[in-house]
Amino acid sequence: GEPLLSVQDLKVEFSTSAGVVRALDGVSFDVGSGETVAVLGESGSGKSVTAQAIMALLPQPAGSIVGGRILYGGRDLAAEPVSKVRELCATEIAMIFQDPLSSLNPVYRVGWQIAELFRRRRGTPKQEAWAKSLALLKRVGIPDAETRIRDYPHQFSGGQRQRIMIAMAIALEPKLLIGDEPTTALDVTVQQQVMNLLADLQAESGMGMILISHDLGVVAEVADRAAIMYAGRIIETGGIRQVYDHPAHPYTRGLLDSIPSNTSLGERLTPVVGSPPNLLALPSGCSFHPRCPFATELCRTTSPVLRQPEGWSAGHLAACHRTEEVLTHD
């Protein structure tokens, strides 16, 4: 059937004092109901910009969508006024961020903040809203919720605050949940617990999820598909196992080579040698070529398109002139 969300050839630019930056350059991916897509890459690759574009949260007036479509529920969000998209996102598309304290109000009790969502958006009577708030705090695993519902955000641990953020995000039963590095600030054990919570909530509700991360290890267990971004483009996409077990792009391969065992999904990525490119002065041809051990003259002159490598399973695409050689290189 129809995907829940279809991002098609999305292009975003930022005007800066140093010139115009193409932050997204033709990004396309779909998210289905009940499906989790991991969007992975280094800082500055365009992961967060993708989420901001979907939710009409691009910094104004610097950032703007200059091409492509964001299809959701028969609408093209890229073509709609910011106010309309924000209205939709208030109920149907929710987002959680790395730092819950930036989203929670420090001067209000957490229970009140959640209850207020029901009162404001649904007109739910006060007592019923409070009961719903309590049920949500229990559902996301806040211990002793009957008491803690009256506490303020600073009285909770980082992991508990992220659980409270998740409670707020799912309160109005969104169809799509976007997490931008939702567990990056947490320690490894808590990261996995929060990821498991998200996976459980998704199984119950059937919502689609986009999980943005620089860390494939953290999202691998819960993601169905992955999109690897580099310099504003998706350079590899496929099923999570396809990408993890058979990386088809040298960048993805570099990210994964640093992991001791390719069969364990729990390890953390370490950065590929070299720095992410300056978007104001992108390298010619394949923008990864200065860092790529496989680069040839063709790579320096011609930008590769996203395509399916010869003989590989459906839906596994990479943007590399030499994909076939990279795949067999050991």
Q: Are 169 and 94 in contact (CB under 8 A)?
A: yes
Q: Which range, of 41-49, 139-147, 247-255, 268-276, touches Mg ion by CB under 5 A?
A: 41-49
96/295 with CB nearer ligand SF4: 295
Note whether 50 binds Mg ion by CB under 5 A: no
175/289 with CB nearer ligand SF4: 289
Partner that binds at residue 322, options ligand SF4, Mg ion, none, CB closer than 5 to 8 Å by kind: ligand SF4
d(CA 128, CA 321): 59
Note whether 191 binds Mg ion by CB under 5 A: no
72/294 with CB nearer ligand SF4: 294
d(CA 322, CA 295): 8
Partner that binds at residue 29, options ligand SF4, Mg ion, none, CB closer than 5 to 8 Å by kind: none
Q: Are 119 and 126 in contact (CB under 8 A)?
A: yes
- H helices within 36-91, ranges in order? 47-54, 82-91
CB of 323 to ligand SF4, least distance (A): 7
Among 295, 309, 316, 327, binds ligand SF4 (CB under 6 A): 295
Q: Are 294 and 322 in contact (CB under 8 A)?
A: yes
Q: Are 90 and 123 in contact (CB under 8 A)?
A: no
Strand order in the sheet with 225-230: 93-96, 176-180, 208-213, 36-40, 225-230, 233-239, 317-318
Note whether 233 binds ligand SF4 by CB under 6 A: no
Note whether 242 binds Mg ion by CB under 5 A: no
Among 208, 250, 254, 277, binds ligand SF4 (CB under 6 A): 250
53 CB-contact burial (10 Å; exposed 0-12 / middle 13-18 / buried 19+):
buried
148/233 with CB nearer ligand SF4: 233
CB of 185 to Mg ion, least distance (A): 12
Give the three-state DSSP class for 11.
Answer: strand
- Which residues are CB-contacts of 217 (< 8 A; sequence separation ≥ 6)? 259, 265, 266, 267, 268, 269
Note whether 288 binds ligand SF4 by CB under 6 A: yes
Note whether 133 binds Mg ion by CB under 5 A: no
Binding mask 191-230 for ligand SF4 (x = CB under 6 A): ----------------------------------------
Note whether 178 binds ligand SF4 by CB under 6 A: no
Note whether 148 binds ligand SF4 by CB under 6 A: no
Q: Which of 310, 185, 187, 150 is nearest to 246 (CA)?
A: 310
Partner that binds at residue 292, options Mg ion, ligand SF4, none, CB closer than 5 to 8 Å by kind: ligand SF4
Partner that binds at residue 48, options ligand SF4, Mg ion, none, CB closer than 5 to 8 Å by kind: Mg ion
d(CA 53, CA 69): 10
Among 36, 48, 242, 252, binds Mg ion (CB under 5 A): 48
- 156 sits in the region (left: phi over 0; alpha: psi -120 to 50; else beta) called beta
**Residues in binding contact with Mg ion, number by CB under 5 A:** 1
One-letter-per-residue 3-state SS of 136-164: HHHHCCCCCHHHHCCCCHHHCCHHHHHHH
HSE toward the beta carbon, residue 99, CA cutoff 13 A? 4
Partner that binds at residue 289, options ligand SF4, Mg ion, none, CB closer than 5 to 8 Å by kind: ligand SF4
Note whether 321 binds ligand SF4 by CB under 6 A: yes
Hey, which residues does 75 pair with through a beta bridge?
A: 72
* Binding interface with ligand SF4 (CB under 6 A): 249-250, 286, 288-289, 292, 294-295, 299, 304, 320-322
* Binding interface with Mg ion (CB under 5 A): 48
